[in-house]
Amino acid sequence: MLSYLFHVFVSMIGGVVLGVIGMVVGAWFGGNFATEVVFNGVRVYEATSQIGFILFSLVSAVMTWRYMEKKKR
Strand extents, DSSP E, the chain:
38-39, 42-43
Q: What is the pLDDT of residues 5-63, one digit of tens each?
A: 888 888 888 889 999 999 999 999 998 998 888 998 999 889 999 999 999 999 998 88
Distance between CA atoms of residues 71 and 69, nearest Å? 5
Whether 71 has a pLDDT exceeding 80, the answer reads: no
Q: Which residues pair with 39 in a beta bridge?
A: 42
Which residue pairs, CB below 8 angstroms and at least 24 apart, start in 41-48? none
DSSP label at residue 61: H
